Amino acid sequence: MAALCRQIGQVRGTESMMTIELVEDPEGGPRQCDPRKIVEQAREHGLLLLKTDMSANMIRVRVPWTATSQDVSDGPERLGEAMDAAGLSRHSAASL
């Protein structure tokens, strides 16, 4: 997952429930990156994400029980599209 975008710092949890840490400077540590744009853009790309209350730079992903295997396999690409639309730096497809 962290290979998807330079602003993904750490990913914690399991496949069905995880938290993504967003960083502005991957080399310099976790300066906060506002997740609201990503959450908004993800919704427009058919992916529901939650901004956590714990930290200003975390997004929570919870895969619903009703998700199909196609939904799950499309999830990272939809997240990447949402990050593109939010203006974040996405890694090239060759690095995924």
- How many whole angstroms separate alpha carbon 91 and alpha carbon 67? 26
Is residue 80 within a helix (H) or strand (E), and if so which, with residue range? helix 69-85
How many domains is the chain built from?
A: 1
- pLDDT number for residue 43: 92
Q: Give the chain's length.
A: 96
CATH of residue 44? 3.90.1150.10
Query: If you average pLDDT over each of 18-22, 28-32, 65-69, 90-94, which comes out highest?
Result: 65-69
pLDDT by residue (tens digit) across 52-74? Answer: 776 778 889 888 889 899 988 88
- pLDDT number for residue 70: 93
Evaluate whether 6 touches 27 at the Cβ level (below 8 Å).
Answer: no
Residue 58 in domain: yes
Residue 95 in domain: no
pTM: 0.73
Residue 96 in domain: no
pLDDT over 70 percentage in the chain:
75
